[in-house]
Chains A and B, each alone.
Chain A
């Protein structure tokens, strides 16, 4: 009797489950259509890159809105809504006499329309500048834009900006936060000079752009869908729709990719590398990125003011082993604050501090740090025990810390781990651990722009609370170089400047570059023409080219 009941219950459950499963199968069928589903770990704040400084935002906005230029996968600046990128060579950038600044003329693309049918003109570009400079626009930075002194509309397809001073990376202002906004939709939101309605505009959740995809819907916390723009100026994209699915947990993202519910799992966890390799319907691409992980010294502490101590620590660390053991060899060893892809990269600084514990011990002896009873070095009665801080909960960083602790112990330095959640580590002056100068050593990453200018990181005027030079590096020659760097329009001159800056950084070692991040972007083999982009453009930069290979076994 009981057996019968249990059996009946079991059969009922199986039937229910088959029903559900049938639906799931149906859904997969639809999935094989011309919709590409990509993943993001976080939900964007708004679909307006101007007021939301998140990777997720830039990914979601990229297919919808366009800038005057884009940065391609080789880090070249290419025209998008402009017909050509202005430069000194093509005569569209002119330096004004007596160092009074420069004038940049942008010829714009004709025949481009907004998704609602209105034409795109130079009015929109000038309007975008006005939004950026509006008092209450919650833009992350106006760096560069605030050097513009005059905007002139020469004709509907030509616009001219006058800069107060020479500003070399001027074209990059117009690729990310400077994506062009439609004047006819948003004009009323910046009428009030004291209002902040631009931050609250419905547009931010329902954008209109010129891009290859039109916004369709945003279901909070779940997905954002965009459909092909039939009238796109490059021609209709080859897929019908793009969907961004927001999946915070990496195990869930992996599972969705495995089951075919997801086509692209962006910035996959490095810990899943070997499991991802086993999926035969997934192509793995590991793209070196511009983000570089580094170990900072607090130069405000007497202990680190001795250059020999900093160099000893550099010699003690085996970057190759960190790369191979923790990052599966995917993260390349870094030697500079610029990426090898950059046109200003200096090869001569590579391998200046190879792994050499003996050399490290010699330097520490020289500096007066001698091994104490417990093996930890002592000088003037002070033990060489140093705290290291990084983002709590970032697994690979926590592992790296343990390995660093292991290396430094071998040369007689004790490393004490003292991590904090990102919000506190990167928090503002004076409570933040980095900006408040409350760290001793720290490990974090900077994401470099395609332009080599790192003024805010190393210039002595940028020591907190003024800027991001929390290592508190001061060097008169470097200060001068960084100031000159953005004041020159000549590529070869700039290259010389930044290569010399890299020399100084490698020599004086205010921080140790550890590794370049790699973006691990597993993608279903059915998606073609996917080209990962290491810059802040993100992977969506060429989504107008993407195609679905219906014949490929996409599971």
Chain B
């Protein structure tokens, strides 16, 4: 009995992308030189951010009030800020937070978006109408405004993950619409194709069809949207910090470090340059990786 079912699952796997698929993707990805460079930069940055604060003998919130706004020294290679906190360790720690926020928010956005897009695209009709109206509704309100209202609303409420959780939730909640539209469009065209009919004929239920057959085929736009979502979330967090709605001190993020530094732009511009460069480097790398992924995952998409 079970054997029969396993047999069936095996057959389905043949309809899904062939085994050599990922090798091909990787090969095509490697052809995109800038994308590879971006991936390397991202890996290096992550390693530095997660290992750095462990190795460096300062905490990100250690004060040294006798050595404030130092330029650089052996002790503090990137200098110190207005309270004598070590800029390097703060930057690296901030990198953890910013990248976590970016990745988590993009994940939430993509998961929500893929789910909604899948449901809308697969079932169509009323559900589709309702979900797409919901997306229209979200799209019709200026995102920054919605985020500001939401964060005033959520502030001061118990939330998993504290303020980082709130930011991730808000960014995810306001960032799923593009993904859901992409996934829905993909599903609308896929569900009419023969291999889905075949799967249905094999007796698979809706959940199995969606998870095993439709999602793998819609991966390309999802992946690309996810990578771009990471960059968007990092940028959005810094914009929110500027408006006073972001993650609050003492937890550093690149966004709030940049915001704080803009008050000292006239005196100590380097405090603004470091986080600015890191945000730039990360988002550019992420964008290149996304670009490379798009070309690699689906040659059709390459325009």
Contact = CB atoms under 8 A, between A and B. Distances in A.
**In the complex, A touching B, CB below 8 Å?**
yes
Nearest to B262: A251
Interface residues of A, number: 29
Given A393-B244, A398-B249, A424 B155 contact: yes
A406 B66 CA distance: 13
Contacts of A326: 82
Nearest to A431: B156
Interface string A434-461: 0000100000000000000000000000
Interface stretch (B27-35, B200-208, B222-230, B264-272): B264-272
The CB with the most chain B CB atoms within 10 A, among A254, A325, A393, A395, is that of: A393
Contacts of A424: 152, 155-156
Interface in B259-301: 260, 262-267
A402 B63 contact: yes
B211 interface: no
A287 B265 CA distance: 25
B248 interface: yes
A274 B156 CA distance: 37
B229 to A, nearest CB: 26
Contact of A392 (B63, B244, B260, B265): B244
A406 B248 CA distance: 17
Interface in B40-74: 61, 63, 65, 68
Given A395-B263, A424-B152, A424-B155, A417 B250 contact: yes
Given A398-B249, A421-B152, A325 B83 contact: yes
Contacts, number: 61
Given A402-B63, A403-B65, A403-B83, A423 B152 contact: yes
Contacts of B267: 271-272, 274-275
B250 A405 contact: yes
Given A275-B267, A420-B155, A421-B244, A402 B262 contact: no
A275 B155 contact: no
A367 interface: no
Contacts of B249: 398, 401-402, 417, 419
A246 interface: no
Contact of B156 (A250, A406, A433): A433
A421 B267 CA distance: 27
A274 B263 CA distance: 12
B65 A417 contact: no
B123 to A, nearest CB: 41
Nearest to B84: A325
6 contacts: A271-B263, A271-B264, A325-B83, A401-B249, A402-B250, A424-B152
Which 4 A-B pairs give the minimum distances between C-beta atoms? A393-B244, A275-B266, A271-B263, A406-B63
Interface of A: 250-251, 254, 269, 271-272, 274-275, 321, 325-326, 392-393, 395, 398-399, 401-403, 405-406, 417, 419-421, 423-424, 433, 438
Interface of B: 61, 63, 65, 68, 82-83, 152, 155-156, 244-245, 248-250, 260, 262-267
